[in-house]
Structure formats: structure tokens, C-alpha cells
Amino acid sequence: MSEILIWVFYLLSFLSLYVQIYFLVVFLERRKDIIVRRQPIKLNNYPAVTITVPAYNEGSSVTKTVDSLLALDYPKEKLFLILVDDGSTDNTFEFMQAYESNPQIKIFKKANGGKFSAQNLGLEHCTTGFVGCLDSDSLVHPEALKRIMTYFLNQEVMAVAPTIVTWQAKNIVQKAQKIDYELQIYVKKMLSFVNAIHVTPGPFSIFRIEVFNKLGPYKHAHVTEDQEIALRMQTAGMKIEHAPDAYVYTMAPKTIRGLYLQRTRWIYGFLRNAIDYKHLFFKKKYGNIGFLTLPSGFVSVLGVMFLFVFVGSRFVQYLHNKSLEISATGLSFDVNSFSFDPFFINTSTILFVSVFVYSSVLFSLYMGHKILHGKSKFSLDIFLFFIVYSLVAPFWLLKAVWNAVRKYESSWTAEIDSR
């Protein structure tokens, strides 16, 4: 049995390392194409853009979101906002009404129908060539829209995903997420180079309106409509870009429970959408999305769960033996008994493979940090990331897999209410 577990470990480690090496090779091929602008830019042409802000029980935070959109460095006559109250039970709509007199803004209130329905309402009232959405728990960098719009100079580009970073990470849970978001910057950029992005995030992904004209509106899509639309675009052969310098600040969940609910929904959505789009898997005509992104998503879900059980069972066995030893001899601490002998250093293949896998993940973290900040600085938050994610991620993955098997959907509104 333990032999089988070790071989499963090797297989999953091989696949994980394969994905990381793949990103490294892409990075070496395309590193000069990573554009990060730190200074304000000017565009020759400013296409008109509509941004929908769907909100459910966001209270006053919707004000910050809308204010950040209004503060975008973009001509006012070219930027339109559609605020949609998705049946909030708090005072969200009152906060929205404060913008009633602004000619850039239209405000709607509807019965609660989920985020996708609010976004579709925005699409219905959109009259511009470009459309996007901004979750009402997010803020945008003043330069973000201009930086995104430069990618649309390429007529093949149908959507551009921004770079999401955490807004004022204060506690341990948020600091751990900060590192996770930085890791995603590098991953997403590498995926964009091989046209394999599988999600156009809710916060501030911008689309050409043709995307929805040709493919139809957002779908319920297991409460992850931003993943589904990206997969629909990949099926239609539409190119999705990533702007690593178009920053969107998201208010990361403050509690473990909030993080757990959010990630359970994301992973559940990924699994269910990947099943719905199983025709993409390993088909040459769909390219790298089916050969790399979707299979590697499944590998990471399996890998983290397996690692948790594999390492956990060994740790439990170790604790069991230690408790047996202590029960036999009592708790004794003999300083003289400690002597260093290199013989007792672990030199197993498992250790070296783990070192390779973790080194490759650390490289991704380093690159994400460097793209974001323009400099490399070691942050102790990396430890928080490994600790929090190692301990909690297996549970949201297990729950998401369990929910996916039972087709039990996570609730977006419940997630917001838990904050």
C-alpha cells in the first residue's frame, strides 16, 4: 500500500514539476514581451467602455468601488458605469443612489438572481464597443483601463484580464492571500503567452462587445461565470490577453471561513465548468487550454489533497510513535544526547523531488513579486502562504470535490454574508 502511495506521489510530483518547468520555458522564451509600465501613459484613441458593478449587500464599500472607477485616468465621455443592486437586503441601493445625478452612471435595482444576472443586465444596457465588470469589493488603479486598452490594438485580442492584488492585507489570512495573488500574476502571464487562460476574472476583465454578441450573455455557470465565459471564448478560438500592470485591488476575505467559502466556490466552479467543457481536453484544435490549463488544474486539486493525506498520515504515524515512546519512558530531554551526524540527514528521492517542486513554486512567487513591484524582496509572508494554504486548502478542495460530485452549488450571497 505504501509503495502505491509513493508512486502516486512521484506521478503527481512529476506532473506538478512539469507544469512549473513549462512556465519557466515559456518565461525564458517570452520574458522580453512582459510589459510592465510604471508611469502614466497616453493613448492615441480612447474607445468607449462600459463597466458594470454588480452588488449584493456591499453597503458602503460600493462607494469606494465606484469612486475608484470614476478616478480612472480615462475620458469621462468614454467611460460609462452601470450599477446593479442584485436584490440587496441592506442599504447598498441607497449608496448607489448618491450617483444618480452623474451622467456617466446608470443605476438599476433587481430581484436577487446571482452575479451573472446582474452582469447580463449591464450587457443589455451597454452601448459601447468594450464592456467589463468590477466586483463591488474591488478597486481599480487609475492607469488600469488605459493599460488594458493597449492590448486591444491587436485586433485578435477579444478580452484582457487584469492583475488582481489584495487591498491592504492586514491579518495573517489576507497576507497569505497576497502571496497567492502575486503567484497568479506570473502564472496568468505565462498562460496568456500560450493562449491558455481559463478565467477572465470578475474584477475588471474587459471584453470586446462582439464576444457577447457572438457567444451570448453570461451563464449561471456554477456561480463562476467568469470561468465559463473564458472557456466559451477558448472553444470559439477567441484570444484572451493578460495585462500584468493593470492592477485591480480586491478586498480579500479576512477570515479562514471567508477564504474557505470563496475558494470552495472557485474550485467547485472550475471542476464543474471543466466537466461541462470536457470537449476541450487534449484536442489539438483547442490548443494549450486542453493540454495544459485544464489538466493541470485537476492535477493541482488532486496533488494538494493527496499531499495532505500522504504527509498527514506520516505525521500522524510519527506522533503516534512519539506518544508511545513518551508513554514508555516519560518526557525526558537530554541535551547531551544531541550530536550532529550527517548520516541522519534525509536523502530520499521524495525529499529531492519535493525540493525541486517547491523551488519551482518559489521561483514563480519570486517572478510574480518582481512583476508586481519591479524589484525582488523576500517577504516573510511566503511562510504564511505555505502554512495557511497547506492547512486549509485541502479542506476547501475536498469540499469542492464533494460538492462537485453531489452537484451541490456554493452560494455567492452566502459568501458575501460570511464576510
Partner 1 sequence: MNRKDVIRYITVFLITLTLFLSATWLSSFLNGRKLEDVKNIQDKISIDILSSETQFQLLQEFSCKDVSATSLSGELNDLAKKISFSEENIKNQDQVIELKKYYSLLQIKDYLLMEKIRSKCRVSVVPIFYFYTTEENCSDCVRQSAVLTELRGQYPELRVYSFDYNLKLSALESLIKIFKVEDTKLPAVYMNERLYTGFQSTEKILKTFPELEKYRIAREKAEAQLEAQTKLGN
**Positions that interact with partner 1 (CB under 8 A):** 10, 14, 17-18, 21-22, 25-26, 29, 194, 284-285, 287-288, 291, 321, 324-325, 327-329, 332, 334, 337, 343-344, 346-349, 351-353, 355-356
Question: Which three cell numbers, joined as nine digits, stand for 402?
Answer: 464533494
Residue closer to partner 1 (CB basis): 65 or 296: 296
Q: How far apart are CB 350 and partner 1 at their closest, in Å?
A: 8
Residue closer to partner 1 (CB basis): 14 or 408: 14
- Give SS3 for 194: coil
First to last CA, the chain: 43
Residue closer to partner 1 (CB basis): 308 or 356: 356
- Give SS3 for 275: helix
Give all strands (DSSP E) within 150-205, no chain letters.
157-166
Residue closer to partner 1 (CB basis): 21 or 98: 21
- Give SS3 for 40: coil
Backbone angles phi, psi at 113, to 5 degrees: -140, 5
Question: Which three cell numbers, joined as nine digits, stand for 208?
Answer: 470586446
Q: How far apart are CB 352 and partner 1 at their closest, in Å?
A: 4
Contacts of 224 (CB under 8 A, 6+ apart): 199, 265, 266, 268, 269, 270, 272, 273
Residue pair 184/369 in contact by the 8 Å Cβ criterion = no
Q: How far apart are CB 394 and partner 1 at their closest, in Å?
A: 24
Q: How far apart are CB 345 and partner 1 at their closest, in Å?
A: 8
Residue closer to partner 1 (CB basis): 97 or 288: 288
Residue pair 121/55 in contact by the 8 Å Cβ criterion = no
Residue pair 85/55 in contact by the 8 Å Cβ criterion = yes
Q: How far apart are CB 10 and partner 1 at their closest, in Å?
A: 8
Give all strands (DSSP E) within 10-129, no chain letters.
49-55, 79-86, 105-110
Q: How far apart are CB 332 and partner 1 at their closest, in Å?
A: 7
Greatest Cα pair distance, the chain, in angstroms, is 80
d(CA 292, CA 414): 32
Distances in whole angstroms, Cα of residue 141 to Cα of each of 40, 44, 148: 11, 20, 11
Residue closer to partner 1 (CB basis): 27 or 46: 27
Q: How far apart are CB 347 and partner 1 at their closest, in Å?
A: 4
Q: How far apart are CB 276 and partner 1 at their closest, in Å?
A: 22
Residue closer to partner 1 (CB basis): 103 or 330: 330
Q: How far apart are CB 293 and partner 1 at their closest, in Å?
A: 13
Q: How far apart are CB 338 and partner 1 at their closest, in Å?
A: 12
DSSP strand pairing (79-86 vs 138-140): unpaired
Residue closer to partner 1 (CB basis): 10 or 408: 10
Residue closer to partner 1 (CB basis): 101 or 343: 343
Residue closer to partner 1 (CB basis): 27 or 395: 27
d(CA 58, CA 293): 33
Partner residues linked to 79 by β-bridges:
49
Residue type at position 345:
I
